[in-house]
Each structure stands twice: as C-alpha cells, then as structure tokens.
Structure 1
Amino acid sequence: MKSLLTRPRRLNPVYLSFMAVSFMVGVAGALQAPTLSLFLTREVQVRPFWVGLFFTVNAVAGIIISLLVAKRSDTQGDRRNLILFCCLMAVLNALLFAFNRHYLTLVSLGVLLSALSSVAMPQIFALAREYADQSAREVVMFSSVMRAQLSLAWVIGPPLSFALALNYGFVTLFCVAAAIFLLSMLLIWRSLPSVPRVLVTPEQELLRISPWKDGQVRLLFIASVVMWACNTMYIIDMPLYISTTLGLPEKLAGLLMGTAAGLEIPIMLLAGHYAKRYGKRLPMLLALVAGVLFYLGLVLFHSRTALMVLQLFNAAFIGIIAGIGMLWFQDLMPGRAGAATTLFTTSISTGLIVAGLIQGVLSERFGHESVYWLALAMSLVALGLASRVRDVR
C-alpha cells in the first residue's frame, strides 16, 4: 500500500518537467560558455585583456538586472512568465552572437540580452523550491537532483560545444543553442506550475528589507564570491592555457569540462543525501578542501593524464558548492527563495567580475600559470571564510 502511494510522487509529471527544463536550459548555456573566450579571441579578434573585460562587463550587468528582478519576483507577478521572458532574451542573445562580430555591439546589446537571460536559471530553482515547499516534497534531494541535471548538461555541452565550433563554426553553435532555448520555452509554458505566494512572518518581512543585516549572509556571500572567482578564472583561462602554454589539443578543454561535470552528478547526489544528516556546513568545507587540492594539482602537474585525474577534485569542489551552497543561502533567508537564490547566483556573477579582471591582467603580464597560483591562494581564503558560517537545520 505504501509503495502504491509513493509511486505517483516519484513519477510526478511536474517534478519531471523541472528536471527536463533545468537540463535543457543547462545544455544551452553549456554550449555557449566554454568556447566564449575562443570566440572572442578568434572570431572577434580581440586581445586577452578585452576578453577578460567582456566577462567582467557581462557579470556586472547580470548582477544589476538580477538584483532588480529578485525582490519583485518574490512578491509580485507570475514567476513562470518571468522565466519565459528570460528564455526569449536568451534566444535573441544566441542569434546575435551567431551573426555579429563587432565587439562593441556584443559588449553592449549582447551583454544586456545575456544579463536578462541569466535570470532564468535562479528563477527556475526558486520556483522549484516554492513548489517543493507547497507540495511537501523533500527539498534537499529535489534541489540536488535538479542541480544534477545541470551537471549532466555540462557533461554533454562542452564537448559538443567544441565539436560544433571547431568543425561547423560558431554560427552553427549559437543557432543550436537558440533552438534549445526555444524548446525550453515550450516546455516551460506547457508544464511548469504557477505557485501562489506564501505569507511570511513579521521577522521574515524585516529580512526582506535588507538581508545584509545578517552577518552570516554577508560572510557566506563573500566566501561564495571567492569560490566562484577561482572556478571562473579556471574556465576562462583553461582552454587558452592547455593550447598555448601546455601545447595540448584544444578539444581536450571540452573533454576536461565534460569529465568534471559527469563526476559532479554522483558527488552532488551524495552531498544532498548526507546534507540531510550532517547539515550544509560540513559538505561545503569538504568541497573547499577538494578545491584547494585541485588548484594545487594544476600548478604542479601538467600532463593530459594528470589533468584528467584532477577533475575528480574539481567535480567535488563545484558539485557540492553549486548545490549545497544555494540551499545554505535559502536556509539563512527563510521565506525568500527568489532573493536567496538570486543572491547565490549574484555571488557567482561577482566572482566572474573578479575573475575576468584578474585573468586578463595576469595571463597577459605574467603568463597563464600565475592564474592558478592565485586561485590556490584564494581557495584557502574561501575555506577560512566558510568555516565561520553557522549551519542551519
């Protein structure tokens, strides 16, 4: 009898729709991001400094747009309609990059469209959190399985991205991404629910005014910025580092990213399982230790085999902080799923700003290896900061 009652929950079509949407939007993003630095270098023909500046401007715009949208998304309107609008902007952005090669256009109109489209994923996760709370679904594993879809997308996306870009050109690559976003819009429109707003307590309403009044939120935000700055420096620099400095095949970059994403999936699911028992803090600290070992390995070992082995530590680092980190923010900010998720993604964008500035300057003046020495130091700083944030059960 119990199994008969639990089976409909396991096969809940809304649950499956959330999985499919996060996977498809993740694939579309994973097609564009890995080759963006190569696109700017080869197709737009700009120096490394301008590549880093592009990532920085893109991140600044993303932060501004996300923060403007976050508060309204928790109190007004239909979150599903907002997600549809953001996906439409993603379609237009992909088409712009497919057929335009002017740096000023890409860094202005392209960045605006990219910033608007970047709101889609945090809003999808915020809608999923609200749906899980409303339907009494287990939040940690629901979120972990959804986040695993993004990792699965990054297993497929980066190798496919390099294959399309190198064999068929960037026009084909960006058109494929636009088509996937269009399919995602159809699925969102037909399948995702509209979840009514939940009334909050006066204490939670006070936190709506300024979550920065909570020192723990501030501390976690800073730690998260440093973590993601390390990761983004690696993503921006690695395709150029392995081809120009190490003399390895360019397609290896896609293989490394896909391998890490594939390893993230079981790690992420295990982290979600044990977070229910041990809380969010312990898995996050273990992830940061793995990050320290990863960047230490990058500065010590340079062979193809070593880089592949190191992806295990990279997967543990990114897989855990991407899933558990978001939940940690949500736990510290109860009743504000949209704002908490956006604050987490804002920390990613802020880390991208830092990474874009640092990577461009360091790689141009001191060589690519200097990027990974700094990432090692920054991962140690992030470990110290995160160790001071309390657990929330």
Structure 2
Amino acid sequence: MKFELFRGNSGVYFWLNGLAAMAFSFILPVMSLFLIEGLGIEPMYIGIYTVGTAISTILISQILGRLADKGINSKTLLLIAIGFLCLAALCFSLLTQFWQAIIVGWCFMAFGASSIPLLLAMIRRFAEQSGKDSTKLNSQMRSSVSLVWIVGPALAFASVGTFGFRANFTLAATIALLVFVMVWRLLPSASKPATSQTAHHETVPPFPYKVWFLGIGILFANMANSTYINAMPLFITKELDLPVSYPGIFMGLTAALEIPVMLLSASWSHRFGKMPLMMVGFVMAMFFYIGIQYASTIEWLLALQLLNGLFYGIFVGLGITLLQDSAPKRVGQVSAFYTNAMSVGTMCGTSLMGFVAQQYGFRNAIYISFVAIVISLIIFLVMHLHESKRDRLAEQQLPLL
C-alpha cells in the first residue's frame, strides 16, 4: 500500500501527469524570454501572443470537455491534444518571426494546452470508479507536476543559456512524443457511458452560481501567479543583472516547497474546510508579493519562496476539487472551465504585466499580483460567508420540517 500511487492505473496517471508537465516546463517558463530575446519583440507584445493563445485554448478545451462528457473516448481526445503539443514544440524550435509564433500559439499550443483539463477529468472519473478520495488523489497527482517543476524550469533556462532556444524546444517536443506513446500504450480507454447523460442531455442544468464565483476567484489568483511568473525572469535578468539560470532556480525551489503543502492540503481541508484553507493561501500570497517589492538580495528572494510555496501548494491542491465538487455530474466541462479560468488569468496577468513593465519596470509589474490576489480573497470570503449564512438558516429551519 505504501507505493500504491506508483502502481497500476494510479501510477500511469501519476507518471503521465509528471511527464506532460515536464514538456510544458520546457516551453511556458521561457516563453516571455523567447519572445523578447529570441524574436526581438517589445514586452507589450507578449500580451498579443498570450491573449490569442488563451482564447483559443478556452474554446478548444471547452469543446473537448463537452465531447468527453457526451461519451467520446477521452483517451482519443487526449492523444490528439498531446500530438498538437509535440507539433507546437517542434514549430517553436524552427520559427524566426513573431507572426509565426502567433500562429503556432493560437492554433497548435491551444490544442496542446487542452490536454490538461482532459487529464484532470480522467483522473476525477478514475477516482470515482475506484472509490478513492478525489481531493487526496487530485493533490497526489498534482504533486507529480510540482515535482517536475523543481527541476524543469531550471533545466529549461539552463538549456536556453547553454544550447539556445531551438535545442530547448526540441527537447520539449521529444518529451511530448514520449507522453503520446505512453498514453497510446498504457492508458485504458476512458469512454464515459453515454446512457443517462445522453438520454437527459436536454435537461442538464447550467453551472451552479458557486462554480462561476469560484472560477472568477481562481482566475484572479492565477492572474496574480502568472504575472509574477512572467515578470520574475525578466526582473531577475534585466533589473538585477543575474545569470539566466536563476529564474529556474527560484521556480524549482517554489515547486519543492509546494509539494508537501499540496499533499497535506487534503487532510488540512478535511479539518478546516477547503474554502477557509484557500483563503489562508491567498493571505500568504499577499505577503509574498509585498515582500518582492522590497527584496534586494538573493537570500531575501529565496526566503520569500516559502510564502509562495505555501500559497501555490494550497491553491493548486484544492482549486480543481472545489470546482468539481460543485458540479459532480459535469466533470469534463468543469475541468475545462477550471483550466480556462486559469488561462484567462494568465492572459490578463501577462498582458497587464507587459504593459506595466514597459512603462514602470518589471518589479513594479508585480503590484498587479498583489491587487489580483486581494480580489480573489474578497470573492472567496464573500462566498464563504454566504454559504455559512445559508447553512445556519437551514439548521434553524430543520426542526420545523
């Protein structure tokens, strides 16, 4: 039982999640640096790439999630998405113009990014079919992503600094190809029985209001994180004049810190509640983003990563489960909605970061992160107070029924 996570179908999902994350870790962290230094664009144009890619990802992932909920084999859909991820990485290794990057990002990368909600939905359905705790399983699976991100970004920035962007993206394509083969050979078919779902398709209710509010809160929280992620490499290398490998070290350290937090978040949520725990994570993020404004040494920046690890470990450990619990009969679409909220947050954060950074510098751009995380905290607090009030009213009326 000790190594159950690494065996059987659980092990397959765990390693697939990790390897897919490795492919993304060689693309996403270096993208802003690639667009500016590799293609020679100005920071404000990063938003054009990010916005287009995010909108395309939203549309495609929602369509694929709906198809999965209708009974289309999720394994086939996942193979298509991973195939496009491999193709996107290959194209990034060859392109030389910004307009080419836009085409690759808006078309191929959008399909590739849609592999994330498909995997999340498949993991949730696997948890339900096997009788596992979905909160615990989601946290365990997400820990494989964080485990990879301990070394992935550091290796990506190191490979860019040593061998260049072409070699880095070629390596990402190779890893994506390995994921494709593993999905094809090892993953069981995941067709959802379309009996009741299809029969009552017309009567499927819309998302509960809670899904929308939580999604908006998650959007702003990821907007805060993505603003920091995109501003930090340029802040470190341009304004502090540190080696290009340092941003990867910071990302890796945060990932190492968030893994135990993520694994513990499942048990913490049973004790304190998912929403209160998420709000604690947001408070940690507020202190982190304020601390960045005053950080002047490497030691200070490294110490601050503890707060970032606490925030992000709780955030990604519980976010998807909160949404899936709110609409358990629409796991595919809710999982896509979750990743779309994350994508829109990335889109907004990156776009604003580019504009603010060009006018006021990369360090000041992180003020966007602080404002966004405060908005997330307010949304979750209002939702929590509303649900607490509703529960109290229900308890008062119960004896009268």
Report the TM-score, using the length of structure 1 for normalisation.
0.93
CA distance in 1, matches of 2:2, 2:294: 50
Counterparts of 2:274 and 2:203 in 1: how far apart (Å)?
A: 21
2: distance between equivalents of 1:11 and 1:69?
Answer: 28
Contact 2:47 2:350 in 1 (8 A): yes
Match of 2:396 in 1: none
Residue 311 (1) aligns with residue 331 (2) = no
Structure 1 counterpart of 2:41, from 37, 46, 57: 46
1:63 aligns with 2:58: yes
Q: Secondary structure at the match of 1:33?
A: coil
Deviation at 1:63, TM superposition (A): 1.1
Q: Which residue of 1 aligns with 2:140?
A: 145
1:55 CA displacement:
1.5
| Matched AA of 1:269 | L
**Secondary structure of the corresponding residue to residue 248 of structure 1:** coil
Conservation of the 8 A alpha-carbon contact between 1:53 and 1:360? no
**Corresponding position: 1:346 with 2:340:** yes
Change (3 A) 1:301 1:10: closer
Counterpart CA distance in 1 for 2:73 and 2:135 is: 24
CA–CA separation in structure 1 for the residues paired with 2:283 and 2:366 = 16
Give the conservation status (yes or no) of the 8 Å contact 1:35–1:162: yes
**Matched residue type, 1:282:** P
Task: Provide the C-alpha distance between the structure 2 equivalents of 1:208 and 1:166, rounded to a whole number of angstroms.
Answer: 52
Distance 1:205 1:144 in 2: 31
- Partner of residue 206, structure 2: 210
Q: Corresponding residue for 1:273?
A: 267
Q: Tell me, what secondary structure is at the counterpart of 1:28?
A: helix
SS at match of 1:32: coil
Q: Post-superposition shift, 1:187?
A: 1.2
Describe the SS at the equivalent of 2:329.
coil
C-alpha displacement at 1:8, in angstroms? Answer: 9.3
Matched, 1:190 2:188: no
Is residue 2:105 matched to residue 1:115?
no
Separation (CA, whole Å) in 2 of partners of 1:151 and 1:69? 25
Shift of 1:201: 8.2
CA deviations over 1:358-379 (Å, ceiling 9, x no partner): 1111011122232122221221
Runs of at least 4 residues off by over 6 Å: 204-207
What residue is the counterpart of 1:292 in the other structure? 286
8 A contact 1:53–1:356 mirrored in 2? no
Evaluate the alpha carbon distance shift between residue 7 and residue 301 of structure 1 in structure 2; reply closer, same or farther with a 3 A threshold: closer
The counterpart of 2:214, out of the listed 208, 212, 220, is 220
Selected match of 1:134 from 122, 126, 129: 129
Native 8 Å contact 1:23 1:152 kept in 2: yes
Contact 1:140 1:276 in 2 (8 A): no
After superposition, give the CA deviation of every residue in 1:30-86 in whole Å (9 maximum; x if it has no partner): 111111111111111111111232122211111121122221221131001111111
Q: Name stretches of at least 5 consecutive residues in structure 2 with no aligned partner.
A: 392-401
Change (3 A) 1:97 1:187: same
Alignment partners' CA distance in 2, 1:194 and 1:280: 32
Counterparts in 2 of 1:160 and 1:208: CA distance versus 1, 3 Å: farther
Pick the aligned partner of 2:72 from 51, 54, 77: 77
Q: Map 1:335-374 to 2 at 5 A.
A: 335-374=329-368
Does the CA contact (< 8 Å) of 2:282 and 2:376 recur in 1? Answer: yes
Structure 1 counterpart of 2:166: 171
**In the alignment, structure 1 residue 93 sits paired with structure 2 residue 88:** yes
> Is residue 283 of structure 2 the alignment partner of residue 283 of structure 1?
no
Alpha carbons 1:200, 1:335 under 8 Å: kept = no
> For 1:335 and 1:52, how far apart are their aligned partners in 2?
35
Distance verdict in 2 for CA 1:136–1:293, change over 3 Å: same
Identity of aligned residues (%): 27
Q: What letter is aligned with 1:22?
A: N
Residue 287 of structure 1 and its aligned partner are, at CA, apart by 0.8
Work out which of the residue numbers 27, 39, 47 in structure 2 matches 1:32. 27
Task: Kindly indicate whether residue 226 of structure 2 is the aligned counterpart of residue 232 of structure 1.
Answer: yes
Q: Which piece of structure 1 moves more, 31-40 or 369-378?
A: 369-378
Name stretches of at least 5 consecutive residues in structure 1 with no aligned partner.
1-5
TM value normalised by structure 2: 0.91
Query: What residue identity is the alignment partner of 2:255?
Result: A
Inter-CA distance 32–10: structure 2 relative to 1 (3 Å threshold): closer
